[in-house]
Structures are given as C-alpha cells and as structure tokens.
Structure 1
Amino acid sequence: MLDQVIDAPKTIVNSPEKREWFDTIPGERMAIHVQSSAVGGNLTIMETVAVPGCGSPLHFHRESEIFHILEGTMTFVCGGERREAGLGSTIVVPPGVHHAWANLSQAPVRMLVMVTPGGIESLFPRANGLSPLELVELVESYGTRIVGPPILG
C-alpha cells in the first residue's frame, strides 16, 4: 500500500509576517495562525497576548480547547480547579467544561490556543469594543455560554 499515490490535503504555511494582529477583549491581542476553513473545519490555531489584569469570563463550549504557554504565567480555572500554568505548560479543556483564564502576573502572557473542531476564530475579531451584553449575545451565537465572571486575584 505504501507505493500508492494518495491525494493529500495541501500543506498550510503561515509565516509571522503574514499574520494580522487584532484586539479582542480589553487587554488581549490575537492573531490567527490557521483558519479552520483551510483544514476542512478540523481545527483553529491562534496566538494571544494578554496584558496583566486581562482575563476571560467563566464559560464553556462544545469544542475542545488547548492552551500552550509561550511566555509568562497564566492562571486557569477548569472544572472548578484553579491552577497556575507557566512557560511550556499545556492545558487541555474538554468540550463542555467550565473554564476561564486570567493574567494575574505583572508581565504579558503569550499563549498558543488550539480549538477543535474549528470555526470559532471568526468570533474574536468581532468582540472588540462590545458591551458585556453584546459580548454575551455574540459568543452565544457561536455556541459558547458565559456562566460566571473572570478570575479574580
């Protein structure tokens, strides 16, 4: 079977100079590394930089979400358990698990975020500047439910 030619999907190459950074929630900037449309909807890969004090509200969604810390230390609450995740740490959040993250440190945190299946990436550019009520409506339109406030120090 190894001698058969198989039509493989095209390889995705996204170099840093092609990435466009944009603001999401206050204190967070994001760039999309891989759009789900480029990989048949299988996944999305994003990079985010969060300033001190920035954090997501407690929420859940139908996708799996994987966070990999590239710089700094991020605080996570996942399924009611609080933990610190430093450089090189990976947090895997299964579908439906209530979770939130917050930068409670004194320095920016940079994370790679992978979501599977993909499709949620188009939510983030639309989040900038929304009121809390508008944000709730937007995320619910993507199948995400906010269930609590951000993590407090």
Structure 2
Amino acid sequence: MNNTRDWHWFLNTLVRIHVSGDDGSDRISYIEHIVRQGESPPLHIHEREDEIFHLLEGEFKFRLRGDEFTCGPGEVVFIPKGAPHTFLSLSPAGGRFFSATTGEDFERFMRGLWRIAERAELPTPGAPTPEAIEALGKAAAAHHMPVVGPPLN
C-alpha cells in the first residue's frame, strides 16, 4: 500500500507527508524533507501557492527574488506565490526541514515523481538523466511550478 505518510524518495531526497492537502478543505500540505549537503532544486516559481520552510537541522542558503541569505535551525522562510526561489543545503551532515504549501500543486507534483523508500534513509545519490530532467521540467510546468533557472552551487 502506498500510504502518503510513509517515507518516500523524491529525486535525491527523503520525504514524508505529515498533513496532506487531501485532509482538509484549504488544501494545506505539511511535508518533512531530509536532504544531503549540496542538494538544490532548480530556481522555480509556485504560481498558485505560498510556501513556508521551517528549518530543523543544518544550514541552508536561500535565493528569493534574486536576494541570497543563509538560515539555520529554528528559522522560518516564507516564499510568496510568484516569487522565484531555490535553496542549497550547506551542512556536511545535510539538513532537515518542513515545508508547508497552501495548495495542492507541490504535493501532487511530488506524488507523481516519488517512489516508496526501501528504507527510512536517503536514496543512493545520482545525477538525473537528460530524460529525467526533461520529465521533471514538464511535471513542474503541469503543476504550475515553472523552472526559471539553475540550482544554487
């Protein structure tokens, strides 16, 4: 059974949904993420959702609307819908955070690409194939989250 509250591998990260958009009428998702050092999604926009990051472990560099800043455990970052953003996990031990979104696009995007984790730890890292990158871009656009630039490094 594919329970959304189980651990899943989403690209090179480990994720678990604590509150699904399917749980309430306002479609709020609350998702736990565990990432390796160096993990960074491409610069992207959520066209229909605000996003909140609550950092639990590790240091992260964020880019939001062209500004860059570093945050750590206990800090919260608010990303308004329509704002280009990304992050980079800086700590050698990686990082852990919760994200909350105010719609169903991000959660559904993840569900379409994740796979059930064979164990509750990060997947074996690997660079995506050109086909996977193309599929990721198409899925992001289909869920109103266009990619607008590269990841941070």
| TM-score (structure 1 length as normaliser) | 0.82
Task: Give the secondary structure class of the aligned counterpart of 1:124.
Answer: helix
Shift of 1:146: 0.2
Instruction: State the AA in 2 paired with 1:48.
Output: H
Unaligned runs of 5+ in 2: 115-127
Task: Specify which of 19, 28, 40 is matched with residue 43 of structure 1.
Answer: 28
Instruction: State the AA in 2 paired with 1:44.
Output: S
* Range moving further from structure 2, 100-109 or 129-138: 129-138
Return the structure number with greater relative CO, CA threshold 8 A, min gap 6. 2
Q: RMSD over aligned Cα, in angstroms?
A: 1.6
Task: Specify which of 39, 45, 67 is matched with residue 60 of structure 1.
Answer: 45
Shift of 1:102: 1.3
Say if 1:30 and 1:47, in contact at 8 Å, map to a contact too.
yes
Unaligned runs of 5+ in 1: 1-17
Task: Give the secondary structure class of the aligned counterpart of 2:150.
Answer: strand
Q: Deviating runs (4+, > 3 A) in structure 1?
A: none
Say if 1:42 and 1:116, in contact at 8 Å, map to a contact too.
yes
Deviations 1:104-153 (A, max 9, x none): 2211200010001234212113334761100000111101100011001x
Q: Who wins on radius of gyration, i.e. which is larger?
A: 1
Partner of 2:145: 144
Q: In the TM superposition, what are the counterparts of 1:1-153 in structure 2 within 5 Å?
A: 19-26=5-12, 28-61=13-46, 62-128=48-114, 131-152=132-153
| TM-score (structure 2 length as normaliser) | 0.82
